[in-house]
Amino acid sequence: MSKYIKERGYPATHLYTSFYFSNFLLMKPYEQDGKIVLPLQLMDDTVIPGMDASQLGLWARVAFRDPKAWIGGY
């Protein structure tokens, strides 16, 4: 959809979301060596940017309140 909008020159702001912290609730943690482990196959130093899903509307509201500052942004 972003490509379509860009090709036609429509004014738009794209709001890309990251990992929702609530996704952790869907995982089945287990205990190993006295630590709680989530079943994610990642390197030990991996950083997972995330946010609470309830904040998504707040970010969208910021863009709607000042569209000139955000049109064409990501």
Task: Give tens-digit pLDDT for 13-42.
Answer: 888 888 888 888 888 888 889 988 888 888
Domain that holds residue 54: 49-74
What tens digit of pLDDT does each residue of 35-72 get? 888 888 888 898 888 889 898 899 889 988 998 888 87
Instruction: Please report whether residue 22 resides in a domain.
Output: no
User: Is 66 inside any structural domain?
Assistant: yes
pLDDT at 73 over 70: no
Would residue 70 count as lying in a domain?
A: yes
Residues 6+ apart with CB under 8 A from 12: 2, 5, 71, 72
Which whole-number Å values give the CA distances from 55 to 48, 49, 51, in the listed order?
17, 14, 7
- Flag whether 9 is in a domain: no
For residue 10 the two structure tokens come to 């429509």
How many domains does the chain fold into? 1
Q: Could you tell me the pTM of the whole model?
A: 0.53
- 64, part of any domain: yes
Q: Does residue 1 lie within any of the structural domains?
A: no
Task: Please tell me the predicted confidence (pLDDT) of residue 8.
Answer: 92
